[in-house]
Chain A
């Protein structure tokens, strides 16, 4: 026992000197006993090397894809919201589906950075930076849909469709509406995610600044590093801040998808009006987010040779979370049917029978196969260790979660209370291209992140290596 803990020395029970407690076997977060310097070189090497050709190829493709969204939204603004496939009775279509899909993806980033931080899960350190970046870019993609669905976008701010903005007519938004709560939840989520990400970046930006060879790099990274010098008096406040932000982000991330689910749950539409929605949406969000983290991180791990930083242990942890949350989502699907039957409300029963066997049954069964069945493969170690299989299943998760939102939104609306108004909703080509384009936008942002920002939180990874422990011998 070192003299570092003079007080704990006194409180130490005498029995501990006689017994030799067995160390709990823990998987190392950095494989092959890599040194601090190796971690710095590896992570900084990515942004210091010459831009690889594959990056340019991906970047050009991503820009072209993103232009679909730009054109789609431009056309919508110029022509009107009629260019989307919305019509009675389905007045909510792909826009809200895409919005909920992207917001859900973001949730894994905050889960990894905040909730796993509070739970002291050390494996979060090598994936949190990329996952948080994913969160921010996903929120950007999500935000486009509610902003543009009003058609005349400039009215979103003035006279205040979205934000309460003082204007001459004293028109204020209706604070009783869950849609307005959503505006506050999502904008707070986006802002706090950016802040959390940036605070985590400061020490690493200082590392990049200290290694910079050119004047421009030194100044650019230096400004953003805020003059960080690794002082322990600073670390002390910094760590407290990081803990507080994790503590603040945890209720935030849970509230965001809860409020997103309120958009549906506080209406009186059968199939939406259920109290299970908040927990079910949050579990689904984390499920889809981890799906996206795996989709992004597995190729990066291979391309950059990061096997020592994202080890099999990390992949195991992530796939187990996908398995757990996927099973929770499956439970929620089952529980919805049970409550519909048990509640004995004929409209509710009809809504669910219609979901599974009606004209959108194809979407329902895609959702069930992707979300409930595909993650069950992760029970098997052989599959968790097969990176290709993990990646393929993660794609299924992404597809399944998009269909979940589609099923919830469209099946209920297309069969409302009046059979005379029943209809079948199909998206238009503008809907489809606008949505596809958001993947391009997301990729453009993510590729820029790869080029300019350290991909992994170096300081945090170093802190969880065995040699960072002052009692390590």
Chain B
């Protein structure tokens, strides 16, 4: 018998899991989660989750992208800086136009803003979610595989400060799940 990771309960409908989540939130548990086949509207509030941090990554990526675009164009077409082995700039004369202008540099910088923002947001999502993570107690449980089809699960981890074998089991039963089982490490 492997170590116990927590208690997991199965529910049949979005409404049931949502009401259960509200009760777990109000009971003050911290280390718990809900497993659903699709994002349920209103579940973030029901779990008491704060607004996601992903946009912070986006703004960083976007700023970096815009500055990269502008400085790359400035360096390559308006300077003759010699960075040795790295590269060097070249003042490119085209039709007597200025070496640099934010106008002609804008379209490329704009595209790089979007490109870097997209990469940063995706990186942000993976970092915040600690993915890829191919090893997790819920992935080992055969029953939970239905959570990517049409079943809903809620688990409370053993490491939660409020966790108590008997009391938490009783509490989880009071949420009216269709099934309760131990989640193994």
Q: Measuring CB to CB, which residues of chain A are less than 8 angstroms from any residue of chain B?
A: 2-5, 35-37, 40, 164, 166, 170-176, 178, 180-181, 184-185, 188, 191-192, 195-196, 199, 203, 206-207, 209-211, 222-223, 226-241, 244-245, 248-249, 251-252, 255, 259, 262, 459-460, 462-463, 467-472
Contacts and interface: CB of A to CB of B under 8 A. Distances in A.
Majority SS of interface residues in chain A? helix
A174 B92 CA distance: 8
B178 interface: no
Contact of B133 (A199, A209, A227, A248): A227
Contacts of A252: 111, 114
Contacts of A188: 111-112, 114-115
Given A244-B54, A470-B42, A195 B108 contact: no
B104 A239 contact: no
Interface in B27-46: 33-46
A232 B44 contact: yes
Interface in B114-130: 114-115, 117-119, 121-122, 124-126, 128-129
Contacts of A170: 87-90
A195 B104 CA distance: 28
Contacts, number: 221
B86 interface: yes
B125 A235 contact: no
Interface of B: 13-15, 18-19, 21-22, 33-47, 49, 51-55, 58, 72-73, 76-77, 86-90, 92, 94, 97, 104-105, 107-108, 110-112, 114-115, 117-119, 121-122, 124-126, 128-129, 131-136, 138-139, 144-150
B119 A195 contact: yes
Contacts of B128: 237
Contacts of B150: 35-37, 40, 462
Is the contact region of chain B dominated by helix, strand, or loop, or is it mixed?
Answer: helix
Contact of B15 (A36, A222, A471): A471
Given A203-B148, A206-B148, A237-B125, A175 B104 contact: yes
A178 B103 CA distance: 12
B104 A233 contact: no
Contacts of A226: 126, 131-134
A176 B104 contact: yes
A184 B33 contact: no
A241 B120 CA distance: 10
B129 A192 contact: no
Given A40-B150, A235-B39, 20 more contacts: A35-B150, A40-B149, A164-B72, A166-B86, A178-B107, A185-B111, A191-B115, A192-B114, A196-B118, A207-B149, A210-B149, A226-B134, A229-B136, A231-B34, A236-B49, A238-B125, A249-B114, A468-B40, A470-B18, A470-B41
B42 A4 contact: yes
B46 to A, nearest CB: 6
A469 B14 contact: yes
Contacts of A172: 76-77, 89-90, 92
